[in-house]
C-alpha cells in the first residue's frame, strides 16, 4: 500500500492544510464534554464515513473515489482525520446554543447544508471524485441520518445522567 496513487499533488496539500486547521479549531475550543464522550464522538465520526466509503465507494456500487483514484492508499486513511473535529464541532454548537426540541430540525438542516458545502469544496479540490451517476445531491441523506443519530444518542446519554 503506497501513500498516493499519482504522487503528492494539490489535493494532498489541501487535505493536510485542512486537517491542521480543523484540529487547531478543536484544540482552541473549550472542552465541554467529558473525555469518554469526546472519544465516543471521535469514534462515531470515524466509523460512519468509514462504513459509507467502504460500502458505496467500492465495487459493485463504486459511487466515488477518495483522493487520487480507486486504490486504497495511505492518504485515503488520512482523510478520516478530517471527521472527528467536525463531529465535535457539531455537538459543541448543539450544546453551546442549547438547541431545544423546537429548533433541532432547523439546527440539523443548517449543519447538513454546511456539510454539503464542505464536501463540495473538497470535491472541487480533488479529495472526492464522483462516478457511476453519483451526485452531491445524494449526500444530504447520509448527513441527515448520521447527525440525527448523534444528537439522539447525546440526548439519550445526557438524559441518563
Partner 1 sequence: MIVTFYIFISWMLIGLFLFNKIQRHAPLNEVTLLFLISCLINTHTYVGLFDTFNWMKTTTDTELFIGVLIYKNVFVPLLITCFSFLIDRNPRTKKILFLILFTLIILCVDLINVFQGLYSFKQWNHFYTIIYFSIFLFTILVILKWYRGLVLSSGGKNNVVD
Q: Which is nearer to partner 1, 51 or 117 (CB)?
A: 51
Instruction: Give the contacts of 117 (CB within 8 A, at least 6 positions apart).
Output: none
Q: Does 39 bind partner 1 (CB under 8 A)?
A: yes
Q: Residue 31: exposed, middle, or buried by beta-carbon count in 10 A (0-12, 13-18, 19+)?
A: exposed
Please count the residues of this chain forming the interface with partner 1, following the rule CB under 8 A.
Answer: 33
Residue that the C-alpha cell 480543523 belongs to: 22
Q: Does 32 bind partner 1 (CB under 8 A)?
A: yes
Which residues between 59 and 98 bind partner 1 (CB under 8 A)?
59-61, 71-72, 77, 95
- State the minimum distance, in angstroms, from the CB of residue 89 to partner 1: 16
Q: Does 50 bind partner 1 (CB under 8 A)?
A: yes
Q: Does 58 bind partner 1 (CB under 8 A)?
A: yes
Q: Figure out which of the listed residues 31, 96, 103, 124 binds partner 1, where binding follows CB under 8 A.
A: 31
Which residues between 121 and 160 bind partner 1 (CB under 8 A)?
153-154, 156-158, 160
Q: How far is 38 from 32, CA to CA, in rounded Å?
A: 9
Q: Figure out which of the listed residues 3, 23, 37, 134 binds partner 1, where binding follows CB under 8 A.
A: 37
- State the minimum distance, in angstroms, from the CB of residue 51 to partner 1: 5
Which phi and psi angles does 65 have, rounded to 5°? -115, 150
Amino acid at each position: 500500500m503506497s501513500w498516493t496513487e499519482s504522487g503528492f499533488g494539490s489535493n494532498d496539500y489541501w487535505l493536510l492544510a485542512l486537517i491542521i486547521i480543523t484540529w487547531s479549531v478543536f484544540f482552541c475550543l473549550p472542552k465541554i464534554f467529558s473525555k469518554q464522550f469526546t472519544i465516543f464522538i471521535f469514534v462515531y465520526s470515524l466509523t460512519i464515513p468509514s462504513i459509507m466509503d467502504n460500502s458505496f465507494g467500492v465495487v459493485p456500487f463504486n459511487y466515488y473515489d477518495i483522493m487520487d483514484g480507486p486504490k486504497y492508499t495511505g492518504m485515503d486513511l488520512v482523510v478520516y482525520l478530517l471527521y472527528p473535529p467536525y463531529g465535535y464541532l457539531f455537538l459543541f454548537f448543539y450544546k453551546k446554543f442549547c438547541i431545544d426540541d423546537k429548533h433541532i430540525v432547523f439546527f440539523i438542516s443548517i449543519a447538513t447544508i454546511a456539510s454539503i458545502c464542505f464536501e463540495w469544496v473538497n470535491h472541487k479540490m480533488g479529495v472526492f471524485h464522483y462516478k457511476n451517476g453519483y451526485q452531491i445531491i445524494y449526500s444530504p441523506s447520509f448527513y441527515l441520518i448520521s447527525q440525527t443519530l448523534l444528537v439522539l444518542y447525546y440526548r439519550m446519554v445526557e438524559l441518563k445522567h
